[in-house]
Amino acid sequence: MALAEIELCGDLIIAASAADGERLSFDRIDEVLKVAGERSALQVHQGQQVQQG
């Protein structure tokens, strides 16, 4: 598990060093970490809970 986390940190460092601006956007971070689909699914799920709540 620790090696996977180290790899993800390395991926973020590489992306940050290649970025044009000072910071990475949340979308770019999601892309680097390969979680964009998971974030979209979570937002849809949370939206459904709010509507049902």
> What is the per-residue pLDDT across 18-52, written as a single tens digit (0 to 9) for each?
998 888 998 899 999 988 777 667 667 777 665 55
Full DSSP string of 1-53: -HHHHHHHHHHHHHHHHH-SSSS--HHHHHHHHT-HHHHHHHHHHHHHHHHH-
pTM (2 decimals)?
0.59
> In the predicted model, is pLDDT for residue 53 greater than 80?
no
pLDDT tens per residue across span 2-14: 898 999 999 999 9
Dihedral pair phi/psi, residue 24, rounded to 5°: -85, 140
